[in-house]
């Protein structure tokens, strides 16, 4: 009985195009692009774009199981590209702040040696 239900569920999924999954993958790719993932994680973004393209072609060919899998993988790869882009941007901000702190620390002793009121 459980095997029959699982077979019916799997078959039911295959009869309907995975429009929601493809749309989610497309939005994930767009988010990665807006975060400039092309500069920070080009391979992951390229892979996500290719998988999304293959998912869309699989939908056109009515291979819905394959389209669903490709769309889900495209989403994962696009999210990875986004995470790497956010991480690299944060790293750059931290490095910038450290340089500013070092500059301020280097200038501080000069102010200490000046008499008050200057």
* Average pLDDT, 10 consecutive residues per value, the chain (118 residues): 45 79 98 97 98 98 98 98 97 94 79 58
Give the per-residue pLDDT at 13: 54
Q: What is the CATH classification number for the domain harbouring 65?
A: 1.20.1270.390
Within-domain flag for 64: yes
Q: At CA 17, angle to CA 12 and CA 22, rounded to 5?
A: 130
C-alpha to C-alpha distance for 10 and 3, rounded to whole angstroms: 10
The answer as to whether 12 is a domain residue is no
Domain contains 34: yes
Helices 42-60 and 64-113, axial angle in degrees (round to 10): 160
Residue 66 lies in a domain: yes
pLDDT the model gives residue 31? 98
Q: What's the number of domains the chain is made of?
A: 1
DSSP string, 31-94: HHHHTTHHHH-HHHHHHHHHHHHHHHHHHHTT-HHHHHHHHHHHHHHHHHHHHHHHHHHHHHHH
Distance CA 102, CA 40 (A): 26
- Residue 104 is assigned to a structural domain of this protein: yes
Which pTM value belongs to this model?
0.75
Query: With contact defined as beta carbons under 8 Å apart, do 46 and 78 qualify?
Result: no
Examine residue 91 and state whether it is found in any structural domain, yes or no: yes
Range of the domain at 86: 17-108
pLDDT score of 104:
87
Q: Is there a domain that residue 113 lies in?
A: no
Q: Is residue 24 part of a domain?
A: yes
């Amino acid at each position: 009985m459980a095997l029959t239900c699982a077979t019916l569920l799997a078959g039911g999924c295959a009869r309907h195009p995975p429009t929601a999954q493809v749309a989610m993958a497309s939005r994930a790719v767009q988010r990665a692009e807006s975060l400039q993932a092309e500069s920070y994680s080009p391979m992951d973004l390229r892979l996500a774009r290719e998988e999304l393209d293959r998912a869309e072609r699989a939908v056109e060919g009515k291979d819905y199981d394959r389209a669903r899998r490709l769309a889900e993988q495209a989403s994962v790869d696009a999210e990875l590209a986004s995470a790497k882009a956010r991480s690299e941007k944060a790293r750059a901000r931290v490095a910038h702040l450290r340089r500013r702190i070092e500059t301020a620390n280097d200038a501080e002793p000069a102010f200490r040696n000046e008499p008050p009121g200057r």
